[in-house]
């Protein structure tokens, strides 16, 4: 166990991120997935009543249903956060397995800054296609001096075809790079960071998590 802990800490220090495989059981993810499914039900019924779709695709699997629904209408969903402020999110944020990983990297004093996003990756949508960025470019320059760890939890299996994360190993050691916000709300660095280092795609299975430093360049 000690070797595994050391490996996790060493990789995070070296690369600015670490993937933890098979950390969350299906039972731990099911409450969030069920909550999303209920809201897809409500959303689909609303779109159908407005005449925007012909079918609610009620029998489609979790990982395909929203994509099928939006195949009949315009893709206009950057994030879907309001309903996720819930007891289900509260329990996931406080999950012991996740907190154990964070504690190894940040120590015992852990606080949640309240920032969360549910990103439905819909086929053909550019709204959830994020260029390479550092989270501190969004948070503000003052946050570059402290450690903020993001936890990315896929609710379906992800790869390069459906929107897995791509990260630049070691980029957290570059410091905070200047960036400006585009009209699409995305932050874009003042230089081509891919000339410094090549992004690495990170396919993940449902149950894996990835944690990364607020200065690590990532995108999807």
Q: What is the DSSP code string of 12-31?
A: HHHHSEEEETT-S-HHHHHH
Q: How far is CA 179 from the centre of its chain?
A: 21
pLDDT recorded at residue 78? 84
Average pLDDT of adjacent 10-residue blocks, the chain of 220 residues: 69 97 96 96 95 95 93 81 93 96 95 92 87 96 96 96 96 97 92 96 98 97
pLDDT recorded at residue 75? 66
Angle at Cα 205 formed by Cα 150 and Cα 161, nearest 5°? 90
Distance from first CA to last CA of the chain, Å, rounded? 32
Burial class of 152 by CB neighbour count within 10 A (0 to 12, 13 to 18, 19+): buried
> 32 with 206: CB under 8 angstroms?
no
Q: How far apart are CA 149 and CA 217, in angstroms?
A: 13
Q: Give how far Cα 20 sits from Cα of 7, 147, 155, 207, 210, Å.
A: 11, 19, 15, 9, 6
pLDDT recorded at residue 123? 87
pLDDT recorded at residue 124? 83
pLDDT recorded at residue 77? 82
pLDDT recorded at residue 131? 94
Name 150's bridge partners.
Answer: 212
Query: What are the backbone angles phi and psi of residue 74, rounded to the nearest 5°?
Result: -80, 145
> 129 with 220: CB under 8 angstroms?
yes
> 97 with 23: CB under 8 angstroms?
yes
pLDDT recorded at residue 6? 63
pLDDT recorded at residue 1? 46
pLDDT recorded at residue 219? 95
């Amino acid at each position: 166990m000690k070797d595994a802990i050391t490996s996790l800490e060493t990789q995070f220090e070296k690369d600015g991120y670490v993937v933890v495989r098979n950390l969350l059981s299906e039972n731990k993810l099911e409450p969030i997935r069920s909550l999303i499914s209920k809201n897809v039900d409500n959303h689909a019924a609303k779109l159908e009543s407005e005449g925007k779709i012909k079918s609610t695709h009620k029998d489609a699997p979790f990982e395909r249903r929203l994509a099928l629904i939006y195949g009949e209408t315009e893709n206009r969903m950057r994030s879907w956060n309001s309903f996720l402020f819930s007891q289900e999110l509260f329990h996931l944020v406080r999950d012991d397995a996740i907190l154990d990983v964070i504690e190894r990297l940040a120590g015992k004093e852990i606080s949640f800054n309240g920032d969360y996003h549910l990103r439905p990756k819909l086929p053909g949508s550019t709204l959830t296609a994020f260029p390479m960025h550092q989270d501190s470019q969004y948070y503000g320059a003052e946050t570059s001096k402290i450690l903020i760890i993001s936890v990315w939890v896929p609710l379906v299996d992800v790869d390069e075809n459906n929107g897995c994360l791509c990260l630049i190993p070691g980029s957290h050691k570059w410091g905070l790079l200047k960036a400006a916000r585009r009209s699409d709300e995305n932050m874009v660095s003042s230089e081509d960071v891919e000339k410094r280092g090549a992004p690495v795609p990170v396919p993940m299975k449902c149950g894996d998590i990835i944690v990364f430093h607020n200065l690590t360049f990532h995108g999807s």
